[in-house]
Structures are given as C-alpha cells and as structure tokens.
Chain A
C-alpha cells in the first residue's frame, strides 16, 4: 500500500494564473487558504492566523489581516476566549462581494478586561491584554 499525500485542489482561477505566471517558486501559504480552496474562494471564508506572546506586563495577540478595514473588525474577550469577527461588503460596479471571517482563541486567565487595547497597523492587528496584578512576576527579597 502506498501513502500518497493529498494535494488540496486549487480554485480554477488561481491555478490558471499559476500556469500563466508561476516561475516554479515554492508556495508557502497561510493555512487559511486551504479553506478557500476547499470551499471555493466565493465562500469568502477563512481564519486569520494569529501569534500569541507575553511579556512581564501583558499578553499579546497578533493577527495578520491584510486589506481588512479596521472599522469592520469586532473584538470580544469573554471567559478567556478572544474572538475576532469581521464582515465587509465591497461594491464594484454592479458586483457586491462579501468577505467575512471569525476566529476564537483561548488566552490565559488573569487578564484585566478593562485595560485591553488593540492597534491596527499595516494589516497587522495587535491586541494587548494586561495581566492582572496576581499574574505578574514578583521579586521576592530574602530577609
């Protein structure tokens, strides 16, 4: 028996353009594009990729959202689950295209909800979630 790696089918449009323009360079694409390929790009459904970081004061979530207008993004933090949602309609001539996505990630406990802030720059959304006092590292002096 042979195991053959399953190649995700590409949408017709993108494979046509790859034939036209591809120079054979390896493609590293975000995981989200797999859903586009499976459901067809018309479904307009993908999950944005996210990085989670921490330093002594904050947890940080970084989302890559190229081309997303900040006004269409909704952020919600509840029970240590951070949810990002966006729905956008663009009208071009007589065509209306809708893009929407939603992603929920779990963040560590102990975030000061009132002080969460978010910033969008060059297609990258950074959410800063300050740690509650009890979670911060503390220097303990030895007497």
Chain B
C-alpha cells in the first residue's frame, strides 16, 4: 500500500520542485548605459546569480534569509519563492563591462551600451 502511494506522489513532488516568481524591476537609461533595478527582498549578494546568454539576461535570486523553524504563521502576505527574471535585450551591450551590486534587497545592474549604439556628437565645422 505504501509503495503504491509513493509512486503516485513522486512525480508531483518533482513538478513542484521550484517555486519561481518574477521580481519587480525598473529599467532606465542614460547616455552610457541601461540601468536595471531588480527588487529582491531577502536575497543577499551570495544569493544572486546573473547570466547573459546571447541576448537574454537572466537574474536568479535565491532567498538567503528564511523564516526560522518554529515560527507559526498567523497571517501571510509575502510570497516565499525564489526570484527569476529573464530580459531579452534588443540593443547590443558591452558584456565585459556589466556591473552589479546588491544593497538592501535591491540589485542594481548597469549594462553599458556598446559603442555603436551610443549617441554620437556631431561637430559643425
């Protein structure tokens, strides 16, 4: 009986293995770079994983501050899943110079524009 139950439950567990949510984010732009701010509450710098594959930028935030064992919930509004955000970049960026910092649960990403898309000043001679 117990083995039968096991076989039924196992695939379901696998399907729910990871609970992702898309974080809130902002994108802004200045002359030199695109600035992406991603809200990752409960994630410190060790929990952030950033990758750029072709034109897809993926940010994964794994929660580093968990609710301690033994706390019984009285009311829950917060989501508990880890964060995953994929952004497709439609402009070339200078991959080598991407900078990232994490502070107070917010990831600041600076994606420098590739030279060919920077605005060019034209001098009048």
A: which residues have CB within 8 A of B? 17, 20-21, 23, 25-31, 33, 49-55, 59-60, 62, 64-69, 108, 120-124
Interface string of B65-93 (1 = CB under 8 A from A): 10100111111111101001011111000
Nearest B residue to A56 by beta-carbon distance?
Answer: B70
* 15 interchain pairs, CB-CB under 8 A: A28-B22, A30-B79, A53-B67, A53-B71, A53-B73, A53-B74, A62-B67, A64-B41, A65-B104, A66-B104, A120-B104, A121-B65, A123-B105, A123-B106, A124-B105
Chain A residues lying within 8 Å of B109, measured Cβ to Cβ, are none
B32-53 contacts to A, CB under 8 A, are 37, 39-44
B: which residues have CB within 8 A of A? 21-22, 24, 27, 37, 39-44, 56, 64-65, 67, 70-79, 81, 84, 86-90, 103-106
Chain B residues lying within 8 Å of A122, measured Cβ to Cβ, are 41-44, 64-65, 104-105
Q: At the interface, is chain B mostly helix, strand, loop or mixed?
A: loop
Chain B residues lying within 8 Å of A52, measured Cβ to Cβ, are 73-76
Given contact pairs A25-B84, A30-B24, a sample of 14 additional A-B residue pairs in the complex whose CB atoms are under 8 Å apart: A23-B87, A28-B79, A49-B78, A51-B78, A52-B73, A53-B71, A55-B70, A66-B41, A67-B103, A67-B105, A122-B105, A123-B39, A123-B40, A123-B105
Smallest CB separation, A57 vs chain B (Å):
10
Chain A residues lying within 8 Å of B106, measured Cβ to Cβ, are 66-67, 123
Alpha-carbon separation in the docked complex, A47 to B122 (Å): 47
CB <8 Å contact, B27 and A29? no
Alpha-carbon separation in the docked complex, A29 to B78 (Å): 10
CB <8 Å contact, B71 and A60? yes
Chain A residues lying within 8 Å of B71, measured Cβ to Cβ, are 53-55, 60
CB <8 Å contact, A51 and B105? no
Chain A residues lying within 8 Å of B39, measured Cβ to Cβ, are 66-67, 123
Partner pick for B74 among A23, A27, A54, CB 8 A cutoff: A54
Chain A residues lying within 8 Å of B88, measured Cβ to Cβ, are 20-21, 23
Chain B residues lying within 8 Å of A26, measured Cβ to Cβ, are 22
Smallest CB separation, B83 vs chain A (Å):
10
Q: If A53-B71, A54-B71, A122-B42 touch, does A25 touch B86 (CB 8 Å cutoff)?
A: yes
Nearest A residue to B68 by beta-carbon distance?
Answer: A55
Best-surrounded residue of B75, B87, B88, B103 (most CB of chain A within 10 A): B75
